[in-house]
Structure 1
Amino acid sequence: MDIQSLRIFKAVAEYGSISKAAKELNYAQSNITTRMQQLENSLQTVLFYRHNKGVTLTAKGEVLITYADKIFRLLDETKEVMRDQEEPQGPLSIGSMETTAAVHLPRFLSRYHSAYPQVDLNLKTGPTSQHIEAVLNYKLDGAFVSGPLSHPDLITKKVFSEELVLVGNSLLSQSLKSHKVDDLTLLVLHKGCFYREKLKHWLHEEGVIPSKVMEFGSLDALMGCIAAGLGVTLLPLSIVQRYSYLEEVTHYSIPEKFSLVDTLFIYRTDVTFSTPLIKFAEMFQEERISPL
């Protein structure tokens, strides 16, 4: 088994077709077929199911594609390390919760870009669970997530703590006073959102079953509907302060066991640090990003 055979295997797996892989790699189709047969013979297993529409990975093929991805990632990391660049450059993919990205990261990311303009920084927003999975699967170099979090394959560094509050419009106070929380509609962000789970656990302990749950894909849409009186949500106080121009929005404290949440920066324990990631971690530690 050699690197080129793995590259061909990966292309066939991605395109689901030997002919398409051959065209993409500029190889004769017969060469691709021979290479794949040789690879299967050397590993003594079947990697593809052949059918009229192309090929599909077998269970063993799925295992090999996972290892192939790791091998190519390590090769790329090796090249980066061997370059020994003084000036950080190249790709850097960072994940963040939308709330953290909206309030705490803009000025920091601007300073980082100014300091290291050769770094191709890519910020992806989404829920904590999604980012944890992406870091574990090498899809992200690092991510800002909510904690606590403990995983044997992850290094976690606490960045700051925040207070979560119950957010609604002026009608919220009337509902709380009359104990009609059961009648409220819960407005939440994506599935996998840490704040969403906190709200769920708090209400469960209070014995409250909301009448309806509505999911939103963006923070702006969520806050707009909060202001309009559509329902309530649980968010960091810093977000409420950022939307202070929405005069209809108000907030209330919740029990401390549910209100305090840590924001962590995570990355894999087994990654070879690229210069862009090293400088990124150093800079946010020096800047001491904190709640507004």
Structure 2
Amino acid sequence: MDNPHVNITFKTAHSDFYLKEELSNFETDLSLITDEYIINNTLDNIAISVDNLVLVSNKQISSFHLNDLENYTLLVTEKGCSYREQMEKILFKNNITPMQKLEFIGIESLKLHIKKFGGIALLPEFVVTQELKNNELFLVPLDYQFTTLKTNLLYNSSTKKNSVFSFIEDVFSLER
């Protein structure tokens, strides 16, 4: 590896507060955070992507309304995941209770389940691009504008590790 002194941890955080705290305390060098709003006044922030959320199923559905979620099994990622939080906001705001809700630790296991057994899930479009192209999953036709999520790279510019900055430039092809 070209940057042996950069500490990277890949984990799902149930709150970006903890990730920001680890960055501020120099316990972690870099964090990728995906959320509707990335608010931070003390850390440096580089925008990586803006992701559209889409509702998908393993079957083509000709017509669909939000209230129809009550008749489906809803597949969700674990608590704290920004995709799930968006779906829970929609359900709460519209007083909708799905017929059944299944929780998955990871997106890949959720995608395997939905392809084989069905259900509906709200996921970032880039995560299901291949499945949509191969007709393994289908967009659920819904006249609803989902929130876009932003993925940002956060780091603490007060770090004494120059390797962090070269890592950002090398791996993300970004300059600070």
Q: How many residue pairs get matched?
A: 168
User: What's the counterpart of residue 196 of structure 1?
Assistant: 84
* TM-score normalized with structure 1 length: 0.50
User: What's the counterpart of residue 143 of structure 1?
Assistant: 31
1:166 aligns with 2:55: yes
Distance 1:179 1:197, change over 3 A: closer
Distance 1:237 1:140, change over 3 A: same
Q: Deviations over 1:270-292 (max 9, x none)?
A: x31412210122232439xxxxx
User: What's the counterpart of residue 4 of structure 2?
Assistant: 90
Match of 1:280 among 154, 159, 167: 167
User: What's the counterpart of residue 18 of structure 2?
Assistant: 133
* TM-score normalized with structure 2 length: 0.78
Unaligned runs of 5+ in 2: none
Larger radius of gyration: 1
Unaligned runs of 5+ in 1: 1-87, 95-122, 288-292
User: What's the counterpart of residue 116 of structure 2?
Assistant: 228
Alignment of 1:37-116 (within 5 A): 89-94=3-8
Query: Aligned equivalents of 2:104 and 2:124: distance in 1?
Result: 17
Distance 1:230 1:127, change over 3 A: farther
Query: Aligned equivalents of 1:92 and 1:233: distance in 2?
Result: 35
Give the number of the structure whose residues are more often helix, by fraction: 1
Q: Secondary structure at the match of 2:150?
A: strand
Q: Tell me how far 1:186 sits from its aligned partner.
A: 1.8
Query: Aligned equivalents of 1:230 and 1:195: distance in 2?
Result: 18
1:184 aligns with 2:69: no
Q: Secondary structure at the match of 2:41?
A: coil
User: What's the counterpart of residue 125 of structure 2?
Assistant: 237
Moved over 6 A (4+): none
User: What's the counterpart of residue 97 of structure 1?
Assistant: none
Query: Aligned equivalents of 2:116 and 2:63: distance in 1?
Result: 15
Contact 2:59 2:118 (C-alpha < 8 Å) held by counterparts: no
Q: Say what the alpha-carbon RMSD is for the aligned residues.
A: 2.8
Query: Aligned equivalents of 1:280 and 1:188: distance in 2?
Result: 33
Distance 1:90 1:215, change over 3 A: same
Distance 1:204 1:274, change over 3 A: same
